[in-house]
Structure 1
Amino acid sequence: MSYAYPVSKPWLGDREQQLVGEAIASGWISSQGPEIKRFEAAFAEYNGVAHGVACSSGTAALTVALAALGVGPGDEVIVPEFTMIASAWAVNYVGATPVFVDCGDDLNLDVTKIEARITSRTAVIMPVHVYGRRCDMDAIMELAYDYNLRVVEDSAESHGVRPVGDVACFSLFANKIITAGEGGICITNEPRLAEQMAHLRAMAFTKDHSFLHKKIAYNFRMTNLQAALASAQLERIDEILSRRRAIEKYYDAALAGIPGVTLMPPRDVLWMYDVRVERRAQLQAHLAENGVETRLFFKPMSRQPMYFDAGWPELKAAAFSEDGLYLPTYPELTEADQEIIVGHIRSFYRP
């Protein structure tokens, strides 16, 4: 179905065409080429860390980070109940076990519930900055220090939020704040860890690049074409974030006071504009009929079929998943567009 107002779309321009065109003209279109190293260095610098390791997706970045940290069978990783399932799957991909912790009112990992889930097998805490809201990283880093744990930040939705963990992993999917179409990147201050992540994402070739592989690794490499697109997007990230901030400000003011709509806590950066609504299915159908695409909130990890054996606890995450949705959020969305979208919401709830 085609929508006048899709939930998301990338903001691409002349600079993106220029750099991708230059990459094509150079002949470097696969996982070798100058744009990859340029993007890795620039993205790391933007985030105030030393090293970047570009990957084929955000999920690949999480998987490589966990593998490079030595996480594997017998280990446990603390993962939020409220997140995209890729967070949990990356743990499974390395043979470890995800252990789920419920969310707080901001949808992020409830730090007061983490300690009770730590065991002798816990190796990593994986906070996710949901929809662009920064987790309470001071409390998480203190717990990690107390229990000698590593911290891998799932920053897929939070470009612009400065990381503090051992590794932060970003997605560059088409709906993210900046995009490479597909792709991801790990960033860290630890040179040995960066070297190991780069080694594992590229099939663990020996240094002479002979076809000898001493360990099982991955083909999770980013292409030079993707890196060119990502580099152009990174050059514009401040403009993109500023435009998104204006979109959030408009929605906050326009939706306030509409019966049936509950605003969510402020975001550190805006990925998707999320709200809680009454009669969600009917509202979503009404908006779709008027050309407005929406998406539902994540479902809790413990409600996913492959994790049913984790139990069926009472969860705050479950309550959010039943009435939450997010609205069109992309830089080219104008105030006039938002006025139309909000008008349709207002007309639905009009007495």
Structure 2
Amino acid sequence: MAFTHPVSRPSLDGRELEYVTDAVSGGWISSQGPYVQRFEEAFAAWNGVAHGVACSSGTAALTLALRALGIGPGDEVIVPEFTMVASAWAVTYTGATPVFVDCGDDLNIDVSRIEEKITPRTRAIMPVHIYGRRCDMDAVMDIAHQYNLRVVEDSAEAHGVRPVGDIACYSLFANKIITAGEGGICLTEDPRLAQQLAHLRAMAFTRDHSFLHKKLAYNFRMTAMQGAVALAQVERLDDILAARREIEARYDAGLKDVPGITLMPARDVLWMYDLRAERREELRAHLDARGVETRLFFKPMSRQPGYLDPVWPTLNAHRFSEDGLYLPTHTGLTAADQEYITGAVREFYTGG
């Protein structure tokens, strides 16, 4: 059905069309031209990081990051139980093994349980800033330094959370805080890693393009048209984040005393407004009938067919996934929209 209040809707109110038109009129439709580089530089500068390497998706960014760090068959990478499956898939794509750690009450990886999963094969930790909620990166970095591990931050949902790991990876999918429709970007302070990321994303071509490829690489390049949209989005990132803070505050105020609803801890940046709901499926049907789209929480990685482990029913990640959902969250939401949505939630639980 067509929802009057969809979960997500891109905000393209800046110079996106101007930049795309300029790219197309100049013949820049592949990965060549100025816009990809301008986006890389702008996003890196906004985050206070030296290097940005754009690519075709957030999943591609994670895969490139792991490969650039030399992770491959025989290695293990610590990954949260509660995350989108792309986090684990990126590890698997390299031939390494994801090792899962359950979440805490904020849905992020429980850092107090990371060390018990470290083995002699562990090479990296991949914290994920779930729904825009910053992981305890001080604790993660302390563990990484103690055990000589690399850190790849999955920041797909957390534009605005400043990176501190070896490489931070962002998604530019249509429902993300900023978007290019599809796309991703890696941020790093290390020029050697940046060079390796760029090399791997472009099929490991040599400078003379002799078609002699010395390592397995990828065609993960971003197009100039995507770069044009992404650049225009970065120019508005401060305003987008501010608008989302207002959306979070309005939802908090409208739902704080609704019986049957449990609000989640505050977010560092708002990607999606997540909550826990009693009689969740009935609530979703109620909202659906009123044109309000919702989405479920992630399923635990140990419940996924590719990583199936019978421990999953005992996990915090499973408990949260059974009653969690998120509400429409995008910068086009007005106060009246949110009053309608929170009113529909309240109606379900209280009858008015």
Q: TM-score, normalised by structure 2?
A: 0.99
- 1:76-117: CA deviation from partner (whole Å, max 9, x where unpaired): 000000000000000000000000000000000000000000
Match of 2:330 in 1: 330
Alignment partner of 1:190 is 2:197: no
Separation of aligned partners in 1, 2:248 and 2:240: 13
Match of 1:286 in 2: 286
| C-alpha spacing 1:194/1:14, structure 2 compared with 1 (3 Å) | closer
User: Does structure 1 conserve the Cα–Cα contact (< 8 Å) formed by 2:68 and 2:193?
Assistant: yes
Superposition RMSD on alpha carbons, in Å?
Answer: 0.9
Which one is further off, 303-312 or 8-17? Answer: 303-312
Alignment partner of 1:54 is 2:54: yes
User: Could you tell me how far 1:14 is from its partner in structure 2?
Assistant: 4.6
Task: Report percent identity of matched pairs.
Answer: 72
Separation of aligned partners in 1, 2:135 and 2:328: 24
Match of 2:272 in 1: 272
Give the secondary structure class of the aligned counterpart of 1:52: strand
- In structure 1, runs of 5+ residues without a counterpart are none
1:81-120 to structure 2, matched below 5 A, reads 81-120=81-120
Match of 1:321 in 2: 321
- 1:234-281: CA deviation from partner (whole Å, max 9, x where unpaired): 000011000000000000011011000000000000000000000000
Q: Which one-letter code corresponds to 2:191 in the other structure? A: P
Q: Which one-letter code corresponds to 1:174 in the other structure? A: A
- 1:14-67: CA deviation from partner (whole Å, max 9, x where unpaired): 511111111111101011110011111111111111000000000000000000
1:1-351 to structure 2, matched below 5 A, reads 1-309=1-309, 311-312=311-312, 314-350=314-350
- 1:283-310: CA deviation from partner (whole Å, max 9, x where unpaired): 0011000000000000000000111147
Separation of aligned partners in 2, 1:236 and 1:14: 7
Q: Which one-letter code corresponds to 2:239 in the other structure? A: E
Separation of aligned partners in 2, 1:331 and 1:165: 29
Separation of aligned partners in 2, 1:217 and 1:167: 18
Separation of aligned partners in 2, 1:79 and 1:10: 29
Give the secondary structure class of the aligned counterpart of 1:251: helix
Separation of aligned partners in 2, 1:313 and 1:55: 36
Which one is further off, 55-64 or 9-18? Answer: 9-18
Give the secondary structure class of the aligned counterpart of 2:326: strand
Give the secondary structure class of the aligned counterpart of 1:319: helix
User: Does structure 1 conserve the Cα–Cα contact (< 8 Å) formed by 2:29 and 2:225?
Assistant: yes
Give the secondary structure class of the aligned counterpart of 2:152: strand
Separation of aligned partners in 1, 2:208 and 2:314: 54
| C-alpha spacing 1:14/1:161, structure 2 compared with 1 (3 Å) | closer
Separation of aligned partners in 1, 2:113 and 2:290: 42
Give the secondary structure class of the aligned counterpart of 2:265: coil
Separation of aligned partners in 2, 1:267 and 1:14: 25
Separation of aligned partners in 2, 1:224 and 1:180: 10
User: Does structure 1 conserve the Cα–Cα contact (< 8 Å) formed by 2:14 and 2:232?
Assistant: no
Separation of aligned partners in 2, 1:121 and 1:305: 24
User: Does structure 1 conserve the Cα–Cα contact (< 8 Å) formed by 2:14 and 2:236?
Assistant: no
Separation of aligned partners in 1, 2:271 and 2:318: 21
Q: TM-score, normalised by structure 1?
A: 0.99
| C-alpha spacing 1:313/1:284, structure 2 compared with 1 (3 Å) | closer
| C-alpha spacing 1:313/1:261, structure 2 compared with 1 (3 Å) | closer
Separation of aligned partners in 2, 1:153 and 1:191: 17
User: Could you tell me how far 1:132 is from its partner in structure 2?
Assistant: 0.4
User: Does structure 1 conserve the Cα–Cα contact (< 8 Å) formed by 2:296 and 2:326?
Assistant: yes
Separation of aligned partners in 1, 2:264 and 2:98: 27
User: Could you tell me how far 1:150 is from its partner in structure 2?
Assistant: 0.1
- 1:178-209: CA deviation from partner (whole Å, max 9, x where unpaired): 00000000000000000001000000001111
| C-alpha spacing 1:294/1:312, structure 2 compared with 1 (3 Å) | closer
Which one is further off, 325-334 or 13-22? Answer: 13-22
- In structure 2, runs of 5+ residues without a counterpart are none
Separation of aligned partners in 2, 1:133 and 1:253: 19
Separation of aligned partners in 2, 1:181 and 1:259: 37
Separation of aligned partners in 2, 1:266 and 1:135: 12
Separation of aligned partners in 2, 1:189 and 1:12: 30
Separation of aligned partners in 2, 1:118 and 1:24: 49
Count of aligned pairs: 351
Separation of aligned partners in 2, 1:216 and 1:15: 37
Separation of aligned partners in 2, 1:50 and 1:130: 25
Give the secondary structure class of the aligned counterpart of 1:168: strand
